[in-house]
Chain A
Amino acid sequence: MHAPAPYDARAQFWLGIRLFFPVAISIAAYGVVWGVLAGQAGLSVLEVALMSGLVFAGASQFVALDMWTPGSLPVLSIIIATAIVNLRMVLMSATLRPLVGHLPLPRALGTMFFVSDEQWAMTMAEVRKGNASVAFFLGTGVLSWFAWMASTLVGRVLGAFIDDPARYGLDFAFTATFLALLFGMWRGRGDLIPWLVAALAAIVSSRLIEGNWYIIVGGLVGSFAGALIETAKERRHVA
């Protein structure tokens, strides 16, 4: 019988920080750009700190900036768009259950604040190797939070010195980021039709409806199309 490896929470925490370091640098670079664009969208330093610190979810923060119009903020549609963009995290925190299952529920729920793409991916990779723990996950999460917080603030302060971001192509950072995230989600040909349906629905509704509702319309129509096709296929397999 194998003796369980001695569990050293502090060592695990630092291991998480060490392994996550290169990823954190990439997050920070991305955060600086978000901060510059946030300043351009009219967010104050305090608003940047609050959003990065409390929401702590890059893709949805990019979407929020895209919709941010100070003076007449589309409050409800920004919150709905945030929820839809972040819905993928339901599946991530569900798969982390075995990792935190032994903790008292309030503490387990507390750790879930740190769930995001990169930390989740790295922790799951360690789980597969058999040596991840809550402390490891927290190490990656804490480092990621500080990297995101610091870099978005730096970007916001530096951004005050850039008068016209479009001159440097920075306005395209949104499209480039969303494209990269989209390609990263490609799981095979089954994604093609839902993506095309979503794109088409978004283009049509952006012409018909004021504001940014096209994101929500396209996201819902496209994902329903994907689910319909997939369940229809499964049924045919069963039959």
Chain B
Amino acid sequence: MSLEALITILGMAAVTYAIRAGGLLLANRLPTTGFVASWLKHVPGAVLASLVAPAVLTGGPAEAIAAAATALIYFVTRNLFATMAGGVLAVYLARLALGG
């Protein structure tokens, strides 16, 4: 294992644990209303939206079809694994059908 991989993994572990412990330590001081509270609430969705947007946009028609199928499966099953598996199957079939 390279040193930079080790540093990356330990860094990821440290920030993640700091966040988990930080919530408990700050529990009584975290603002429940106002700008900061609202910002914290919006971070996860915004991050995920920025993760998927370029991927969906730069993908071909097979990826676009599969993204739509993924959305449909999620709203029917509400299950993370079923959605992931369905999305993978959808892109596999779409690529076969479109010869991509």
Contact = CB atoms under 8 A, between A and B. Distances in A.
B97 to A, nearest CB: 12
Contacts of A178: 48, 51-52, 55
Interface string B68-90: 00110011001111011111111
A172 B91 contact: yes
Contacts, number: 281
Given A78-B12, A223-B43, A112 B20 contact: yes
Contacts of B57: 203
Interface of B: 1-2, 4-13, 15-17, 19-28, 30, 33-36, 38-57, 59, 63, 66-67, 70-71, 74-75, 78-81, 83-92, 95
Interface stretch (A2-10, A42-50, A156-164): A42-50
A214 interface: yes
A199 B50 contact: yes
A227 B84 contact: no
Given A185-B45, A214-B50, A174 B55 contact: yes
B96 to A, nearest CB: 9
A5 to B, nearest CB: 25
Contact of B88 (A75, A115, A173, A215): A173
A62 to B, nearest CB: 9
Interface majority SS (helix, strand, loop, mixed), chain B: helix
Contact of B13 (A55, A112, A181): A55
Given A79-B11, A112-B23, A227-B42, A168 B88 contact: yes
A63 B85 CA distance: 18
Contacts of B54: 202-203, 206, 214
A98 to B, nearest CB: 9
A168 B85 CA distance: 11
A74 B28 CA distance: 36
A30 interface: yes
A59 B24 CA distance: 21
Contacts of A203: 53-54, 57
B4 A112 contact: no
Contacts of B63: 172, 175
B39 A182 contact: no
Contacts of A146: none
Given A75-B7, A112-B20, A223 B46 contact: yes
A54 B10 contact: yes
Contact of B23 (A64, A78, A115, A231): A115
A64 B19 CA distance: 17
20 contacts: A29-B85, A30-B80, A50-B6, A50-B9, A60-B12, A64-B12, A89-B23, A93-B23, A177-B84, A177-B87, A179-B70, A179-B87, A195-B49, A201-B50, A203-B54, A219-B43, A219-B46, A222-B50, A226-B38, A227-B42
